[in-house]
Structure 1
Amino acid sequence: MSPVVRTNWILLATAVLLGAFIYAHQKRPPAEYIPITDMDTARIEHILIRRQNKPFAELRKNDAGWINLRSRAPVTDQAWIGNLLHIARLPSLHSFPAAGQDLQAFGLQPPRYQLQLDDSPIHFGGIDPATGLRYIQVEERIHLVSDSYTHYLLRMPDARTPGS
C-alpha cells in the first residue's frame, strides 16, 4: 500500500471516529441544572422587593390572593406574581461559594436588588460581561443565572404591562 493511500485511510478513519463522537455527544440528554433555592413556591406567603436597599414593594398572600401592603389593594397581575415566585426556582448555570469573594466586584455589596421570599433573601448583582449572566447570591453561594427575570423587580405591583 502506498503512503498516500495509507494516509487517506487514516484520515477517513479519523473523520469517521470524530463523526461518531459528535453524534454520540449530541444524543446525550441536556444537563439538569439545580435551582438557586429549594423553596416550594406554592408555600411562599410574603414577598419584599428592595431596590438599592430601600423597600420598593411588599406583598402578602391571604385567602383571597396577593395584597399590596402599601396600597392595601389586591394584586391583579397573577402572571407577575408567578414570575416573581419563579425566580426562586431559576436554574443555576454556575455557582461558587461566596466566602472569600469580593462581593462588590460582583455588584452584590450592596446588592442592586433584593427579592425576599418569606425569610429568604435573594440578592441580585451585576452582569458577567463575558456571558451576559446575572450574579445572584443566595445564602452563602453566588450563582450565575439568565437575566430574563430581573425586569420584574423594576415594576410596581399595580402597574399594568402591555397586553394585560
Structure 2
Amino acid sequence: MSPVIRANWLLLAIAGLLGFIIHLHSQQQESHTPITTLDGSQISQILIKHKDTVIAQLQRQENGWTNLTTGKPAANREWIDKLLHIPRLPSLHHFPVAGLDLEAFGLQPPRHQLQLDGQTIRFGGIDPATGLRYVQVDQQIHLVSDGYTHYLSPDQSP
C-alpha cells in the first residue's frame, strides 16, 4: 500500500472518530433534565417579581393572556412564550440547598422570581467560572444558561 493511500485511510479514521465524539457530546447535552416538570402549555398563571416588586401578573383566559396588574389583554405573545419556556430550561448542573449560604449565590434575596401556577423559580447571580445563572427551584440550585433572565426585567412586561 502506498504512503498516500495509508495517509488517506488514517485521515478517514480520524474524521470518523471526531464525528463519533461530536455525536456523543450532542447526545449528552440533550439528556439534561429540565429545572421543573411544568409544561408551558398547561400553565395558567404567571407572576413575575423583581426584588420584592410585582412586575406582572398574568392569567390565561379562553381568548389569550390577561395582565391582571393592568386588567388589559397581554399583547406580547412572544414574551409570554419565552416565559413559558423557562421551566423547561436544562439544568446543566444541580445540587441541594441544604446547609448552603443562599446569599453567596445571589438567591437571598433573589433578583427575580417567576411563579408559574404556584411553582416558584428564584433567579440569583452568575457563576464566575462558567457564566451560568444560579436558579433555585424547591430545595435544588440549578445552573442554567443566562439567555432568559432579561425577560424578567421590568422593561419587558407588557
TM-score range, shorter chain: 0.7 to 0.9
Return the index of the structure with the highest Cα Rg: 1
1:43-58 correspondence runs (5 A): 43-58=42-57
Give the gaps of 5 or more residues in structure 1: 1-14, 159-164
Cα deviations by residue, 1:90-113 (Å, 9 ceiling, x for unpaired)? 011111111111110000011110
1:77 deviates by 1.1
User: With structure 1 as the length reference, what TM-score do the two structures score?
Assistant: 0.80
1:67-86 correspondence runs (5 A): 67-86=66-85
The answer for the alignment partner of 1:99 in structure 2 is 98
Contact 2:55 2:157 in 1 (8 A): no
User: With structure 2 as the length reference, what TM-score do the two structures score?
Assistant: 0.83
Which portions of structure 1, spanning 4 or more consecutive aligned residues, are displaced by more than 6 angstroms? Answer: none
1:49 deviates by 0.4
1:157 deviates by 2.8
The answer for the alignment partner of 1:33 in structure 2 is 32
Contact 2:35 2:89 in 1 (8 A): yes
RMSD: 1.9
Give the gaps of 5 or more residues in structure 2: 1-9
Identity of aligned residues (%): 51
1:21 deviates by 6.1
The answer for the alignment partner of 2:62 in structure 1 is 63
2:152 aligned with 1:157: no
The letter for the 2-side match of 1:82 is D
1:26 deviates by 2.8
Q: For residues 27 and 42 of structure 1, do their structure 2 counterparts lie closer, same or farther at Cα, with a shift above 3 Å needed?
A: closer
Partner of 2:72, secondary structure, is coil
Partner of 1:49, secondary structure, is strand
CA distance in 1 between counterparts of 2:64 and 2:130 reads: 38
Contact 1:75 1:157 in 2 (8 A): no
Contact 1:57 1:156 in 2 (8 A): no
1:76 deviates by 1.1
